[in-house]
Amino acid sequence: MTSKRILVTGSDGQLGNAIKSESLQYNSHIFFFKNKNQLDISNFSLLQNEIKKMKVDIIINCAAYTNVAQAEKEKQTANIVNNIAVENIAKICSKENIQLIHISTDFVFDGKKESPYKENDQTNPLNYYGFTKLEGEKRILEKKLKSSIIIRTSWLYSKQKNNFVYKIINKIKKNDRLNVVLDEFGSPTNSDNVASFILEILPYINNTKTEIYNFSNSGICSRIEFAEEIMSLFGESKVIEPIFSSSSDVIRPRFSALDLSKTKIKFAVDMIDWKTSLKSFFKKNKNLC
């Protein structure tokens, strides 16, 4: 692949950080990593000027408002980041002929299906976070951007602290009660795997209009099974008290695993099993223990 100038928004987030680490292997490209303080994607004219200055070829949009519970209280902020700012990016990409890789979520679905969700399955978000992410997808699809894709992923974790893996480890360390949801099912996904996938496939994205692809680690588990695996790798044995999702502060899809067949066929990639990837994550981040 010829040298590209790549802007990564949301660079302080889980995936943005993982791409920053992974980008060290791609020194033929020029990367611009911008967090929300360095680049206000909600300000159209400012964003457009900055993108022109950087002479960007590709935007990987990792910026998102991801606090599902808080999004119910901060609806305006969630909508600005997940929808309005995404429309800004899509407009600029359309005008300047820039390739866009946008990150979305399994929460665009209602979780009522009993088999993994395909890209063209009916969307029906249950919470405001999912609604804003779906609206952002729509704004991109309207522009019919060439060689651009939306990647839906699920149950993301990373070496950053705001994710399920770290929350469980923190509770173990503090000897707090472990109350974990029994009836939510999905696919835990290592941010490092998503980051390497994105950078690997860039030369092979050649669609005439925006396409949606699912990417997660393979396999399905419940939240409680995920917690048990984390605890096992951490080397602890504590009692996990199961709770039902109905006791949660916000409605989430009960089943949100993603069908990976379209992605596998298009990009000829093998999806790493979630348990295998979690084990690798613990080996790589020994400071967790």
pLDDT tens profile 79-127: 999 999 999 999 999 999 999 999 999 999 999 999 999 999 999 999 9
DSSP H/E element including 23: none
Instruction: Give me the percent of the chain exceeding a pLDDT of 70.
Output: 99
Which listed residue (65, 129, 157, 213) is catalytic? 129
All structural domains of the chain with their residue ranges: 5-162+189-218+256-272
- Least confident piece of the model among 2-6, 71-75, 122-126, 283-287: 283-287
Confidence of residue 247 (pLDDT cuts 50, 70, 90): low
pLDDT at residue 248 in the model: 74
Section 242-259 average pLDDT: 88
pLDDT confidence tier of residue 1, bands split at 50, 70 and 90: low
For residue 176, the model assigns a pLDDT of 85
What pLDDT is attached to residue 160? 86
Mean pLDDT, range 244-257, rounded to an integer: 87
Averaged pLDDT, 171-187: 91
In the predicted model, what is the mean pLDDT of the chain? 94
Cα distance between residue 177 and residue 193, in whole Å: 31
Distance from C-alpha of 108 to C-alpha of 238, rounded to nearest angstrom: 34
* Residue 43: pLDDT over 80: yes
**Are 88 and 46 in contact, with CB atoms under 8 Å apart?**
no
Token pair for 158: 């990373």
Q: Is the pTM of this model over 0.85?
A: yes
Give the domain 5-162+189-218+256-272 fold: Rossmann fold (3.40.50)
Checking if the pLDDT of 237 tops 80, the result is no
- Among 106, 222, 220, 240, smallest CA distance to 168 is for 240
The predicted structure's pLDDT at residue 289: 58
Does residue 166 have an active-site annotation?
A: no
pLDDT score of 240 = 87
pLDDT of res. 207: 94
Residue-wise pLDDT for 47-74, tens only, equals: 999 999 999 999 999 999 999 999 999 9
| pLDDT of the residue at 239 | 81
Q: Which amino acid is at 241?
A: E
Q: Are residues 31 and 98 in contact, defined by beta-carbon separation less than 8 angstroms?
A: no
Task: Say what the pLDDT of residue 235 is.
Answer: 83
- Spatial separation of the C-alpha atoms in residues 133 and 244, rounded to whole Å: 25
